């Protein structure tokens, strides 16, 4: 069993019926805009996260494809889950920037991935690779979210 609280909660939830849905619902509450896409985290492990969300009216734009902001919400949620599941206990992180390219129409349900290397967790800028795919496997969005990693301040004894 891992000592990472997010991975521990994920594994605990998987033991229950609809465990992935339960975990995804809890995690999406960390930032209310994540809930707008109704995400389902399908895989979470250190340095990797995959989530999916359905194409539905609430996430569509004026031409009937998945809206760019919905795609970016998915990318940011996957990155956040990856970061929380991966970062060493003595470090903390905050998003610093995001760069994305839209590569094809997002006209189906969406699968999002976020990944980084295991040896990247040290103070400074850390690029997290993020991608989104249509249900036929076509890449619809790709980019990088840069997070700034720093040491947690030392706690003074009370």
Q: Mean pLDDT of residues grouped by 10 in the chain (158 residues)?
A: 85 94 92 90 97 96 95 97 95 96 97 96 97 98 98 82
Asked if residue 117 is part of any domain, the answer here is yes
Asked if residue 45 is part of any domain, the answer here is yes
- Domain CATH code at residue 54: 3.10.129.10
What range defines the domain where residue 122 resides? 5-151
Contacts of 83 (CB under 8 A, 6+ apart): 93, 128, 147
Nearest to 4 by CA among 87, 63, 110, 103: 87
Asked if residue 158 is part of any domain, the answer here is no
Question: What's the number of domains the chain is made of?
Answer: 1
* Exposure on the CB side of residue 150, measured as CA atoms within 13 A: 7
Report residue 132 as tokens. Answer: 């989104």
Nearest to 53 by CA among 103, 106, 98: 106
Asked if residue 115 is part of any domain, the answer here is yes
d(CA 32, CA 79): 16
Asked if residue 156 is part of any domain, the answer here is no
| pTM, two decimal places | 0.92
pLDDT of residue 3: 82
pLDDT of residue 158: 66
């Amino acid at each position: 069993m891992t000592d990472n609280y997010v991975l521990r909660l994920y594994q605990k939830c998987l033991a229950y019926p609809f465990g992935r849905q339960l975990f995804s619902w809890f995690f999406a509450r960390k930032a209310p805009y994540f809930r707008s896409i109704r995400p389902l985290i399908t895989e979470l492990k250190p340095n990797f996260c995959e989530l999916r969300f359905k194409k539905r009216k609430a996430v569509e734009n004026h031409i009937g494809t998945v809206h760019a902001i919905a795609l970016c919400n998915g990318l940011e949620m996957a990155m956040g889950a990856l970061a929380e599941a991966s970062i060493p206990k003595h470090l903390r992180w905050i998003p610093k920037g995001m760069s994305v390219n839209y590569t094809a129409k997002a006209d189906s349900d969406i699968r999002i991935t976020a990944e980084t290397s295991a040896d990247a967790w040290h103070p400074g800028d850390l690029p997290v690779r993020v991608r989104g795919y249509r249900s036929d496997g076509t890449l619809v969005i790709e980019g990088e979210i840069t997070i700034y990693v720093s040491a947690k301040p030392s706690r003074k004894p009370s």
